[in-house]
Amino acid sequence: MQITVDVPPELAQEVDRYRDHLPELLRQGVAALQVTSDQVGQDEVEIMQILASRPTPEEIMALQPSSTMQSRVSSLLAKNKAERLTTAEERELERFLTLEHLVRLAKMQAYQTV
Protein backbone atom coordinates (compact mmCIF):
# COMPACT_ATOMS: atom_id res chain seq x y z
CA MET A 1 0.00 0.00 0.00
CA GLN A 2 1.27 3.43 -0.84
CA ILE A 3 0.34 6.50 1.22
CA THR A 4 0.91 10.11 0.25
CA VAL A 5 0.96 12.71 3.01
CA ASP A 6 1.47 16.46 2.83
CA VAL A 7 3.57 17.73 5.73
CA PRO A 8 5.16 21.07 6.60
CA PRO A 9 8.72 21.54 5.29
CA GLU A 10 10.35 21.28 8.72
CA LEU A 11 8.60 17.96 9.39
CA ALA A 12 9.52 16.74 5.91
CA GLN A 13 13.20 17.24 6.77
CA GLU A 14 12.81 15.25 9.99
CA VAL A 15 10.89 12.47 8.25
CA ASP A 16 13.42 12.30 5.44
CA ARG A 17 16.15 11.43 7.97
CA TYR A 18 14.16 8.32 8.88
CA ARG A 19 13.02 7.40 5.38
CA ASP A 20 14.21 3.79 5.72
CA HIS A 21 12.29 3.38 8.99
CA LEU A 22 8.95 4.95 8.06
CA PRO A 23 6.88 1.74 8.26
CA GLU A 24 8.19 1.08 11.79
CA LEU A 25 7.62 4.70 12.82
CA LEU A 26 4.03 4.52 11.60
CA ARG A 27 3.51 1.19 13.37
CA GLN A 28 4.83 2.62 16.65
CA GLY A 29 2.79 5.78 16.28
CA VAL A 30 -0.42 3.88 15.65
CA ALA A 31 0.31 1.51 18.56
CA ALA A 32 0.93 4.46 20.89
CA LEU A 33 -2.32 6.11 19.85
CA GLN A 34 -4.25 2.88 20.34
CA VAL A 35 -2.81 2.36 23.83
CA THR A 36 -3.68 5.92 24.74
CA SER A 37 -7.21 5.89 23.44
CA ASP A 38 -8.15 2.30 24.27
CA GLN A 39 -6.70 1.76 27.74
CA VAL A 40 -6.62 5.15 29.30
CA GLY A 41 -9.07 7.24 27.37
CA GLN A 42 -12.01 5.65 29.15
CA ASP A 43 -10.55 6.55 32.57
CA GLU A 44 -10.12 10.16 31.47
CA VAL A 45 -13.68 10.33 30.20
CA GLU A 46 -15.08 8.80 33.39
CA ILE A 47 -13.11 11.10 35.68
CA MET A 48 -14.12 14.18 33.72
CA GLN A 49 -17.76 13.06 33.69
CA ILE A 50 -17.68 12.64 37.47
CA LEU A 51 -16.11 16.06 37.98
CA ALA A 52 -18.64 17.65 35.63
CA SER A 53 -21.60 16.02 37.38
CA ARG A 54 -21.23 18.18 40.51
CA PRO A 55 -20.29 15.31 42.80
CA THR A 56 -20.38 15.50 46.58
CA PRO A 57 -17.11 16.22 48.37
CA GLU A 58 -17.03 12.59 49.50
CA GLU A 59 -17.34 11.37 45.90
CA ILE A 60 -14.49 13.63 44.84
CA MET A 61 -12.30 12.44 47.69
CA ALA A 62 -12.95 8.82 46.62
CA LEU A 63 -11.76 9.34 43.03
CA GLN A 64 -9.01 6.90 42.10
CA PRO A 65 -7.46 5.94 38.77
CA SER A 66 -8.07 2.43 37.51
CA SER A 67 -5.35 -0.17 37.85
CA THR A 68 -4.82 0.06 34.08
CA MET A 69 -4.20 3.78 34.29
CA GLN A 70 -1.93 3.42 37.34
CA SER A 71 0.07 0.73 35.57
CA ARG A 72 0.46 2.80 32.41
CA VAL A 73 1.60 5.89 34.33
CA SER A 74 4.09 3.82 36.33
CA SER A 75 5.41 2.30 33.12
CA LEU A 76 5.85 5.69 31.48
CA LEU A 77 7.55 7.16 34.55
CA ALA A 78 9.95 4.20 34.77
CA LYS A 79 10.76 4.41 31.07
CA ASN A 80 11.28 8.16 31.40
CA LYS A 81 13.92 7.53 34.08
CA ALA A 82 15.64 4.73 32.18
CA GLU A 83 15.54 6.15 28.66
CA ARG A 84 13.92 8.76 26.48
CA LEU A 85 10.17 8.67 25.89
CA THR A 86 8.80 8.94 22.38
CA THR A 87 6.91 12.09 21.51
CA ALA A 88 3.62 10.21 21.77
CA GLU A 89 4.60 8.85 25.19
CA GLU A 90 5.58 12.32 26.37
CA ARG A 91 2.17 13.66 25.33
CA GLU A 92 0.45 10.72 27.01
CA LEU A 93 2.36 11.28 30.26
CA GLU A 94 1.62 15.00 30.12
CA ARG A 95 -2.11 14.24 29.77
CA PHE A 96 -1.95 11.97 32.81
CA LEU A 97 -0.14 14.60 34.84
CA THR A 98 -2.63 17.27 33.83
CA LEU A 99 -5.55 15.03 34.75
CA GLU A 100 -3.91 14.17 38.07
CA HIS A 101 -3.40 17.87 38.78
CA LEU A 102 -7.08 18.62 38.08
CA VAL A 103 -8.19 15.79 40.37
CA ARG A 104 -5.85 16.98 43.14
CA LEU A 105 -7.25 20.50 42.87
CA ALA A 106 -10.79 19.13 43.07
CA LYS A 107 -9.85 17.00 46.09
CA MET A 108 -8.26 19.97 47.86
CA GLN A 109 -11.44 21.95 47.32
CA ALA A 110 -13.59 19.04 48.49
CA TYR A 111 -11.43 18.53 51.58
CA GLN A 112 -11.98 22.14 52.62
CA THR A 113 -15.74 21.66 52.54
CA VAL A 114 -15.84 18.40 54.51
- Contacts of residue 79, Cβ cutoff 8 Å, sequence gap at least 6: 85, 89
The span from the CA of 25 to the CA of 6, in Å, is 17
Over the chain, what is the mean pLDDT?
Answer: 85
> Rounded to a whole number, what is the largest CA-CA distance in the chain?
60
Alpha carbon dihedral 84, 103, 51, 112, in 10-degree steps, equals: -170
Q: What is the pLDDT of residues 72-96, one digit of tens each?
A: 899 999 999 999 898 888 988 998 8
Tens of pLDDT along 7-53? Answer: 888 888 888 888 888 888 888 877 766 655 555 577 778 888 888 89
Q: How far apart are CA 58 and CA 111, in angstroms?
A: 8
